[in-house]
Amino acid sequence: MSNDLPLSKENILDAAEQVLRRFGPDKTSVVDVARVLKVSHGTLYRHFSSKAALRESVTERWLHQNILAPLKDVTEQFDGNAKEQLRLWLDTLIHSKRSYAVDDSEMFAMYASVTLEAIDMITQHVDQLIGQLARILEKGIQTGEFKALEIEVTARAIFNATSRFHHPAHAKEWQSGSIDQEFASVWDLMLSGISS
Amino acid sequence: MSNDLPLSKENILDAAEQVLRRFGPDKTSVVDVARVLKVSHGTLYRHFSSKAALRESVTERWLHQNILAPLKDVTEQFDGNAKEQLRLWLDTLIHSKRSYAVDDSEMFAMYASVTLEAIDMITQHVDQLIGQLARILEKGIQTGEFKALEIEVTARAIFNATSRFHHPAHAKEWQSGSIDQEFASVWDLMLSGISS
């Protein structure tokens, strides 16, 4: 049942994502993915030792492409001041999560379930996001918009203080009509705390 | 099968809580509770029209006794300044939730599941908590510890900015060794935002 094409990691993840979307995370096995790729089970088990490893890798790529990359652009390419950049970064994070919860609900549900397992991959993803926030804070301190603050600690505090608006466990609450107003109030509170 | 004792709401809730703890929320029916109370199903259905209504009422009483009442004491009877009172209020909320998640895991799981349904009862519970926070903020403005701020809006912002530390959807994260430090950083950020 094997074919001759070399299997790249991207090929495997494409097939895995396709199968996960079709059957759902609970019903997808490594064997199902091997079947789609027309390779032996053994070949695929060399890449993914378990169903959990498969889900984790697909979720990691999805998070990278859909959450981290657009926020990296905001971090590196925004021209306005640090305060506007910080707000845009948070708005981008919050609105991406909110639209994926609705428009890409299969992948969002898998991401939510992987997050609950609190694996290292999620910790690393969050650390990368907090690293981006830290760069924006650093810029704002340099321009004098923000006061002298502990950059890494404050970046993490801002991420944690906005959990309600971007952590997948709160997805149901994002449907509330007052959610934007609630975020605006938390933003005002935080901005007041960091402004010089 | 009925007995002669008048059924008080407290009697019914006691029996319902006992059955819910024994069989779990998914397997407990109104009929099971009627059996424990030795009353007819019809008698009990007059108080609770469904399994969901039963769970909601038991959770409401549990939240009132275990979360709201101790926080009311902090709100009404604390002698120190408003800043210390606000910190004690948040610490009490956070540590109560954290210990019930471990020491009363059946009831905590039921509360977490009722919360996800986002019913009016939970909204009212949260509004009561935010009302307590507002009283502490008001006191702090009067004493000059806090700046002139929109009391209700800021009280809700403080509650929402600390969701990660008290919302039951985050219970797994409370086991992290850095959770207290993470809260301390969010506290510093908020306090910096409200201090005069």
On whether residue B4 sits in a domain, the answer given is no
Domain of residue B25, residue span = 9-47
CB contact, 8 Å: B157 with chain A? yes
Which of A161, A185, A188 minimises the CB distance to B189? Answer: A161
On whether residue A1 sits in a domain, the answer given is no
Which of A116, A163, A188 minimises the CB distance to B164? Answer: A163
Q: What is the count of structural domains for chain A?
A: 2
Burial category of B104 from C-beta neighbours within 10 Å (exposed 0-12, middle 13-18, buried 19 and up): middle
What average pLDDT does range B115-141 have in this prediction? 94
A94 and A123 in a single domain? The answer is: yes
Report the pLDDT value the prediction gives residue B50, as an integer from 0 to 100.
Answer: 87
Contacts of A185 in chain B (CB under 8 A): 153-154, 156-157, 160
CA–CA gap between residue B114 and residue B51 (Å, rounded): 12
A87 and A116 in a single domain? The answer is: yes
On whether residue B2 sits in a domain, the answer given is no
On whether residue A2 sits in a domain, the answer given is no
Q: What angle do CA A163, B181, A127 make, to 5 degrees?
A: 55
Report the pLDDT value the prediction gives residue A1, as an integer from 0 to 100.
Answer: 44
Cβ density class A68-99: b for 16+ within 10 Å, e for less = beebbebbeebeeebbebbebbbebbbeebbe
Read off φ and ψ for residue A48, nearest 5 degrees.
-130, 115
Angstrom distances, CA of residue B103 to CA of B17, B33, B154: 16, 24, 32
What average pLDDT does range A52-59 have in this prediction? 92
A38 and A98 in a single domain? The answer is: no
Write the pLDDT tens digit of every residue in A106-130.
999 999 999 988 789 999 999 999 9
B79 and B22 in a single domain? The answer is: no
Report the pLDDT value the prediction gives residue B16, as an integer from 0 to 100.
Answer: 93
Write the pLDDT tens digit of every residue in A61-86.
999 999 999 999 999 999 899 999 99
On whether residue B91 sits in a domain, the answer given is yes
CB contact, 8 Å: B160 with chain A? yes
CA–CA gap between residue A89 and residue B117 (Å, rounded): 30
On whether residue A187 sits in a domain, the answer given is yes
B107 and B174 in a single domain? The answer is: yes
Q: Return the higher-pLDDT residue of A31 and B158.
A: B158
On whether residue A157 sits in a domain, the answer given is yes
DSSP string, B56-98: HHHHHHHHIIIIIHHHHHHHHH--S-HHHHHHHHHHHHHHHHH
| Cα B192 from chain centroid (whole Å) | 27
Structure tokens at B142: 């009067």
Question: Three-state SS across chain A?
Answer: CCCCCCCCHHHHHHHHHHHHHHHCCCCCCHHHHHHHHCCCHHHHHHHCCCHHHHHHHHHHHHHHHHHHHHHHHHHHHCCCCHHHHHHHHHHHHHHHHHHHHHHCHHHHHHHHHHHHCCCHHHHHHHHHHHHHHHHHHHHHHHCCCECCCCHHHHHHHHHHHCHHHHCHHHHHHHHCCCHHHHHHHHHHHHHHHHEC
What is the number of alpha carbons within 13 Å of residue B33 lying toward its C-beta? Answer: 32
Question: Does the distance separating the beta carbons of A193 and B191 come in below 8 Å?
Answer: yes
A76 and A132 in a single domain? The answer is: yes
On whether residue A3 sits in a domain, the answer given is no
CATH number for A66: 1.10.357.10
A136 and A189 in a single domain? The answer is: yes
Question: Does the distance separating the beta carbons of B186 and A160 come in below 8 Å?
Answer: yes
Q: In chain B, what percentage of residues exceed pLDDT 70?
A: 97
Which of B154, B167, B188 minimises the CB distance to A189? Answer: B154
A interface mutation test: which of B90, B153, B186, B191 has the most A CBs within 10 A? B186
Task: For A161, name the nearest residue in chain B, comparing CA atoms only.
Answer: B161
Q: Above 0.90 for ipTM, yes or no?
A: yes
Task: For B155, name the nearest residue in chain A, comparing CA atoms only.
Answer: A185
| Average pLDDT score, chain B | 93
- For the cut 70, the answer to whether the pLDDT of residue A132 exceeds it is yes
Q: What angle do CA B51, B55, B59 make, to 5 degrees?
A: 170
In the stretch 64-93 of chain A, residues with CB closer than 8 A to chain B read none
Structure tokens at B55: 């769970």
What is the pLDDT confidence band of residue B1, given thresholds at 50, 70 and 90?
very low
CA–CA gap between residue B193 and residue A131 (Å, rounded): 23
A133 and A62 in a single domain? The answer is: yes
Write the pLDDT tens digit of every residue in A23-43.
888 888 889 999 999 999 888
B80 and B18 in a single domain? The answer is: no
A interface mutation test: which of B192, B195, B196 has the most A CBs within 10 A? B192
A134 and A179 in a single domain? The answer is: yes
B42 and B68 in a single domain? The answer is: no
Quote the minimal CA–CA distance from A33 to chain B in Å: 31
B interface mutation test: which of A160, A179, A190, A196 has the most B CBs within 10 A? A160
Structure tokens at B67: 């979360």
B108 and B176 in a single domain? The answer is: yes
CA–CA gap between residue B89 and residue B66 (Å, rounded): 14
Contacts of B122 in chain A (CB under 8 A): none
Which of B157, B182, B191 minimises the CB distance to A186? Answer: B157
CATH number for A31: 1.10.10
